[in-house]
Amino acid sequence: MAVTPQTIKAALDHIAGDTAYIENRLNEADARLGDGDTGTMLARMIGVMTQVDVDPAETVGAYLGRLAKASARSTGSSFGTLIIAALMAVSRATANADRIEASETASMFSIARKEMTSRGKTELGAKTVIDSLARIEAATDGVVSTQEAITRIGQAADAALDAFRDKPCRVGRARIFGDVSIGNDDPGMLAVKLIIGTMFDDDAATDRAVTSNMPR
């Protein structure tokens, strides 16, 4: 099974069922380091995206482009804008593709990461969404099956959080609060885990039970 507009739409609908939880978790994470709105913005963006119907005849790129445009009318926040920019970049790369094969996973994440890096003017290691994408990119290099890709994405998103949790943020609102950010997950990185992780994962409920028991 490869990624098509239909599978993306199904995944979006799937997460849309979980936004209340995701929204709270991310707001809470952002409240410690930023302005506490990552979750609300993302929930709204997902809502907007699920309104975009799939046209059976369109390419992946066309669909992603329409998702990006719809989202672009809904927010101008940092993270939202980075997501929109990444969607546009992937959309351009898949303009003529009916599907994205599992073996293309790493290159898609690479496109997203590079676009975010240049838009966000942020290097690797600053404890942002970019670090999560870089880890996923590396972890999915060479995968051939969708199932394997999904597993590795989830693992890499977790590993990225673990690797950076005790590092200081070096970008955005939390930049100078080294002490504050140490021990706290970056909301953008956490979003990657909760969104990309949940998107394809029916065991999200288990995961939720675990994370909600984590020490605050």
Partner 1 sequence: MTKIMNIASNYVDESLEGLCLAHPSLCFVGDERRVIARSQAKDRGKVGIASGGGYGHLPLFCGYVGTGLLDACAVGNVFEGPTVGSALDSIETSDGGAGTLCLIGNYGGDRMNFEMAAAMAGDNDIRTRTVLGTDDVASAGEDEADNRRGVAGLLFAYKCAGAAAEAGEDLETVTRIAQKAVDRTRTIGFALAPCLPPGRDTTAFTVEPGTVDFGMGIHGEPGLWHRPFTSADDLAMEMIDRLMAERVSGMSSKVAILVNSLGASPYEELFILYRGARRLLNERGYEESLTMVGPYVTSMEMAGASISLCFVDEELETLLAAPAGCPFWRTS
Nearer to partner 1, 113 or 152 (CB): 113
Smallest distance, ligand ADP to C-beta of residue 40, A: 9
Q: Does 207 bind partner 1 (CB under 8 A)?
A: no
What is the token pair recorded at 114? Answer: 């590079």
CB 107 within 8 A of CB 78: no
Q: Where on the chain is the footprint of ligand ADP (CB under 6 A)?
A: 30, 34-35, 37-38, 41, 77-80, 82, 116, 120, 122, 128-130, 171-173, 186-189
- Restricted to residues 54-73, the positions that interact with partner 1 (CB under 8 A) are 72-73
The listed partner (partner 1, ligand ADP, Mg ion, none) that binds 94, CB under 5 to 8 Å by sort, is none
Residues 6+ apart with CB under 8 A from 126: 169, 170, 171
Q: Does 37 bind Mg ion (CB under 5 A)?
A: yes
Among the listed residues 2, 11, 14, 40, the single contact to partner 1 using CB under 8 A? 40
As a whole number of angstroms, the distance between CA 86 and CA 17 comes to: 24
Following DSSP, what letter does each residue of 55-114 receive, concatenated? PTT--HHHHHHHHHHHHHTT---HHHHHHHHHHHHHHHHTTT-S-B-GGGHHHHHHHHHH
CB 174 within 8 A of CB 209: no
* Start-to-end Cα distance in the chain: 38
Q: Which stretch binds partner 1 (CB under 8 A): 9-17, 25-33, 154-162, 208-216?
A: 25-33
Smallest distance, Mg ion to C-beta of residue 141, A: 31
* Adjacent-strand bridge partners of 97: none
Q: State the residue number with the nearest CB to Mg ion.
A: 34
Nearer to ligand ADP, 87 or 100 (CB): 87
- The residues binding Mg ion (CB under 5 A) are 30, 34-35, 37-38, 77
